Chain A
Amino acid sequence: MYKGKGVFGMVKLSASSVEKINEICDRYVDEPTPLMMILSDIQNEYGYIPLEVQELVSKKTGISVAEIYGVVTFYSFFSLTPKGKYVIGCCLGTACYVKGAQQVIDKFSEILKIKPGETSSDGLFTLDALRCIGACGIAPAVSINGTVYPKMSVDKVPAIINEYKAKEAAA
């Protein structure tokens, strides 16, 4: 049985979020294909792009929600869930891979108890598997919020995690 809820329109986002997202969409009104730029700005602003936001972008741009969702899930830069405070990007490009990157990311996974693409329950860490980040000379490479850790090994992983946990405890 299909009973109407008597509700329509955007009801889940705060007025300020609606205003912000509308403003982001307005930045690119003159662009013939504005979607990537809009989504990129929203990803940077909010750290993720949930369905409610996609609905609003759809309403503003006339691009269907399914198409926006398709773009968000196509590019690994976009995320449907909030990212952690520290985003650990393990490069799994060819050079890093042959130098043992898989073991490194597995170690992060084991200690943080999250799979690549997931965020730890305390919201502190997100683990991402990256394709080549162009740092083959220092393979295997790991990048955490822009800081690159060269020539990584499994042994170095616990210390790095503890470094960030300590930073958090001190704050």
Chain B
Amino acid sequence: MTLVNIKIEGVPYQVEEGLTILEAAKACGYEIPSLCAFNHGECNQGSCRVCLVEATGARGLVASCVYPVNEGMEVRISTPKATEARRRSVELLLSNHNQNCQQCDKNGKCELLHVATLTGAREGAFAGVHSDTYLDELAPGLIRDTSKCILCGRCIARCSNAHGMGILGFENRGFRTFVSPAENRGFNDSPCIQCGQCVNVCPTGALMEHSEIDKVDAALKAGKHVVIQAAPAVRAALGEEFGYPVGTPVTGKMIAAMRRLGFERVYDVNFGADLTIMEEGTELLHRLTEGGVLPMITSCSPGWINYAEYNYGDLLDHLSSCKSPHQMQGAIIKSYWAEQKGYDPKDVFVVSVMPCVAKKFERQREQMNVNGIDDVDAVITTRELARMIKRSGIIFNRLPDEDWDGDIMGDYTGAAVIFGVTGGVMEAALRTVYFKLTGSEYGRVAFEEVRGHDAGIREASIDINGTVVNVAIASGMKSAKILLDEIREGKSKYHFIEIMGCPGGCINGGGQPYVRPVFLPNEDDNILDTYKEKRAKALYSEDERQVVRQSHNNPQIAELYEKFLGEPNSHKAHELLHTTYAAREGFND
């Protein structure tokens, strides 16, 4: 590492060569107001001109996010010239920005509003023509509103980096430039998988989840039997919305909050996850022993399902026919649970809290209902749940820790909790498959070799009493594509593959709280590198705390099969818990 000598505000420092002024200043204790730059240069267009500083050797002011430091450079951040220029850059952005901040769901996490406050940008400083704007509200998962776009390019970079897809791009030029899928199409009419990774990086309200809070309100107002169920990954991140350090599990307080919001029952989707393992594990055993299509691929992630239907229509036989856990649980609530309670399923309204925006799409698939009754009626994200809690006046941090409703589907196992992290579904399935093949539990319980918390491919060979099961795990479509192309070419050596849409799995889903260093002053500087691992740890620690850690040992699951479903993969189970897929054309007419 070569060091160079620089001065910031007249004070000498030694910093690493090659850093940008913005990075070097951060290392020396200065947070230069900046906007478009994100995550170690994942996005570095230098386009917003907010981070302007004075630097010797440069003509005029420079954008510190792209300008590298060099030997002897003297940087001035707080001169009147630089301070005024930064303010003017923000004022120019605001002059072409839809400033309905009160109605904007990004409010409180908006980086544009943040730099506007920091720089003292004045309202209406530049009046002039606005560029044409476009609004796409038809996709179940996401909303694109270009009236709030600042053309930073973060979303474009994230879509390529996470998935190698590049659904979004810049169209036209100059003042007419906007960001959209090709042909200014809606997300529904392009091969977008609606994972929401772009929403997670958008600094403003230009890309947002398609909120369904209104639907939940309407159901509560109509006096329906409203049941809420929360996915494993939600508890690992919800606390961030209320000031808890990243990676703090807040299961007990989350349950207490949901109960106070007026839901009739508060259930854990972990029960559905255990059910998924029973069905999916059985399906895998059938395929292994009776010569079914291998490798079998998990089907819990709706972003991944969208990707498969758009791009690998010829490989859909490889997907497990299992619905995802919350859809399974919704189907059970609308049938078995409603029957036990003596309710008409039409009066039951199921809300899923998910770390995911693609789940909003999934619940509206025509395959996701049984005899005309939708499994799930509304999907809200972790962020939307936080909004509901905040507007209700509940002081989250002062809530007592409460437990899930225990009737009918209250039990869950450690195997279910880890669904929320890449490799978790695989590990949960292996615990049960091991038992089914050997008649005894896997001694160590944990299959460490399949664990991780980031994108990329992991693989392992598990010897179960002489039966070798080759498994692979991928998250993010860039990694998944490699495994899928192997299958297409007939070269895949695997029996079972887990694929999750978002890099790192559900802990990093498109519906999770935004991780923005500027709004997390108490976290480490490198929080963007560590948040996935921290959230994953929260789930693994909950798994370890569970007494029962294998899905097949969940007593209420056993009861459900005994009283209602018969056995895994039974006719009834197929009717309620399994689904079908269909190839789709990406750019449909």
Contact = CB atoms under 8 A, between A and B. Distances in A.
27 contacts: A1-B365, A2-B188, A2-B584, A3-B366, A3-B582, A4-B584, A5-B582, A6-B313, A8-B310, A8-B313, A51-B182, A51-B183, A55-B586, A64-B160, A64-B165, A64-B167, A65-B182, A65-B587, A66-B156, A66-B167, A66-B168, A66-B181, A68-B182, A69-B169, A73-B172, A74-B170, A74-B173
A7 interface: yes
Interface string B495-524: 000000000000000000000000000000
Contact of B169 (A1, A6, A8, A67): A67
B171 interface: yes
A5 B379 CA distance: 26
Contacts of B581: 4
Interface centre among A5, A55, A70 (most CB of B within 10 A): A70
A49 B8 CA distance: 51
B588 interface: yes
A55 B172 CA distance: 18
Interface of A: 1-8, 51, 54-55, 63-70, 73-74
Contact of A4 (B166, B309, B364): B309
A63 B167 CA distance: 11
B354 to A, nearest CB: 18
Which of A66, A67, A68 is packed against the most chain B CB atoms within 10 Å?
A66
B587 A74 contact: no
Contacts of A68: 182
A66 B169 contact: yes
Interface residues of B, number: 33
Given A7-B585, A8-B313, A69 B167 contact: no
A5 B584 CA distance: 5
Given A64-B165, A67-B166, A6 B171 contact: no
Nearest to B160: A64
B585 A5 contact: yes
Contacts of B169: 64, 66-67, 69-70
B166 A64 contact: yes
Contacts of A1: 364-366
B585 A2 contact: no
Nearest to A67: B169
B583 A7 contact: yes
B361 interface: yes
A8 to B, nearest CB: 4
Contact of A8 (B167, B182, B188, B585): B585
Interface in B254-269: none
A63 B168 CA distance: 12
Contacts of B183: 51, 69
Contacts of A67: 166, 169
Given A4-B313, A4-B583, A66-B167, 9 more contacts: A4-B582, A8-B313, A51-B182, A64-B160, A64-B165, A69-B183, A73-B171, A74-B172, A74-B173
Contacts of A73: 171-173
A74 B178 CA distance: 11
Contacts of A74: 170, 172-173
Contacts of B366: 1-3
Contact of A6 (B173, B182, B582): B582
A152 B314 CA distance: 60
Contacts of A4: 309, 313, 581-584
Residue among A4, A6, A74 with the most chain B CB within 10 A?
Answer: A4
7 tightest A-B CB contacts, nearest first: A4-B582, A64-B166, A66-B169, A69-B182, A8-B313, A70-B169, A1-B366
Interface in B530-589: 581-588
A65 to B, nearest CB: 4
Nearest to A4: B582
Contacts of B365: 1-2
B182 A54 contact: yes
Contacts of B582: 3-6
